[in-house]
Amino acid sequence: MPGASGRVLVVDDNKVIRQLIRVNLELEGLEVVTAADGAECLDVVHQVRPDVVTLDVVMPRLDGLRTAARLRADPRTHHLPLAIISACTQHEVDSGLDVGVDAFLAKPFEPAELVRLVKQLIERADSSAGGRGGPGGHGGGQGDGSDDGGDGCGEGEEEGEGEGEGCGDDGGVGDGFVDGVPGRISYGG
């Protein structure tokens, strides 16, 4: 049954965040494996064989954007749905789009949004049955993609710090998916 099961590789250097994500996804019947940074993710991804990978951006050794780029460059993992779950700057969002990230979820996040995003990524991967389908395959989000000019995300996140991460609430629920327009995120309904 799509969305009811799947394996998620959660990559975040903050142990509390990893545990929060793990618990919320496991409560929904998903299997969760965790990694503390991008280097560990690359070490385990081929054994774990996840259906989705979630990545923080700022991590020691290898950050989330460089990890995403390496996953996209590897023929064995280029098809994996990738979601950035992080306090984010517009530069990081743009960089994520450039390397082929499929979805973004700003910290702090509502657990229900996390679950919905991961399930949607699993369902999209299942329905495509062949993976991403090449460049530009990360589009297809819903909503008007309108933006008030700011990204709503705070800067100044320090490596190894779990406190103080987060983005402002744009007032919408949003689906977190790229809406097919480079550099824009769909936060519409």
Judge residue 116's burial from the number of C-beta atoms within 10 Å of its C-beta, 0-12 exposed, 13-18 middle, 19 or more buried: middle
Query: Which CATH number goes with the domain that contains 27?
Result: 3.40.50.2300
Average pLDDT, the chain: 75
Domain tally for the chain?
1
- Tokens 């991460």 correspond to 165
Q: Which of 36, 9, 38 is nearest to 162 (CA)?
A: 36
pLDDT at 24: 97
Residue 106 domain boundaries: 1-189
The pLDDT tens digits of the residues spanning 128-167 come to 755 443 333 333 333 333 333 333 333 333 333 333 333 4
Rounded to whole angstroms, the Cα distance separating 95 from 159 reads 18
pLDDT tens, residue by residue, 164-184: 333 433 333 344 544 433 333
Between CA 170 and CA 155 the distance in angstroms is 16
